[in-house]
Amino acid sequence: MSAVDQALETQLSNIEAKTGRSRAALAKEILAQGLTKHGEMVKWVKESWGLGHGDANTLVHIARKGAEGGDEAAGDPLDAIYVGAKAGQRAIHKALMKQIEAFGPFEVAPKKGYVSLRRAKQFAMLGPKTNTRFELGVNLKDDAEHPLMKPVKPGGMCQYIISLHSADEIDDGVIAIVRRAYEAAG
């Protein structure tokens, strides 16, 4: 089982423990509300069960996927992110994750077009930005410098973006910056 699959399974098990219900029962109840918009469904889950946004979003994705005849928990979530022209960027993802996993424990939360990495707080997000450019977003309040890194305007999901075009661009400086963010998150 990949780290992403394991993280999703852990998240779902934790949700089941918090709510005292199986994921199938939760999905059925979400769909029974008759809501059609994803955001409305997430809001209902958060208000009804007191879950955070990440857990509510995951449950809604699973419920909707199940309603479409699929199984969100099955398969590798990275397959949905690295498709078509973006498939080649999966090598960058794997190379980064191999080094980041050596830092210690953290949560991997797949989103629609990227993967969020969290401890107490999100410390990084990674995924394809375009067909040829991979982005590593880093949450680090301290100043950091690297030739491939640019600061992000305030209000964004991270403070810095490191643009990569191949796994060969992942150097000790990039990893050191991500490690600082990892340690600061918690």
How far, in Å, are 14, 80, 144, 156, 175 from residue 111 at the CA level?
18, 10, 26, 16, 22
pLDDT of residue 178: 96
pLDDT tens-place values along the chain, 186 residues long: 566 777 888 888 889 888 988 888 898 899 888 888 889 999 999 999 999 988 998 888 888 877 665 544 445 678 788 888 999 999 999 999 999 999 999 888 888 889 999 999 999 999 999 999 999 999 988 888 899 999 998 877 889 999 999 999 999 999 999 999 999 998
Angle at 170 between CA 168 and CA 172, to 5 degrees: 125
What is the number of helices (H) and of strands (E) in the chain?
Answer: 7, 6
Q: Please indicate, yes or no, whether residues 49 and 113 belong to a single structural domain of this protein.
A: no
> How far apart, in whole angstroms, are the C-alpha atoms of residue 141 and residue 174?
16
Co-location of 59 and 131 in the same domain: no
Domain of residue 166 covers: 78-184
What are the backbone angles phi and psi of residue 3, rounded to the nearest 5°? Answer: -60, -35
CA 115/CA 157 separation, integer angstroms: 13
Residue 68: its pLDDT value, please? 63
Based on the fold, state whether residues 40 and 97 are members of the same structural domain: no
Tokens of 76: 């590798």
Residue 73 has a pLDDT of 43
Q: What is the pTM of this model?
A: 0.62
Q: Is 26 exposed, middle or buried (0-12, 13-18, 19+ CB in 10 A)?
A: buried
Residues 86 and 176 in one domain: yes
The reported pLDDT for the residue numbered 69 is 56
**Do 91 and 15 have their domain in common?**
no
Residues 15 and 90 in one domain: no
The answer to the question of residue 18 being in a domain is yes
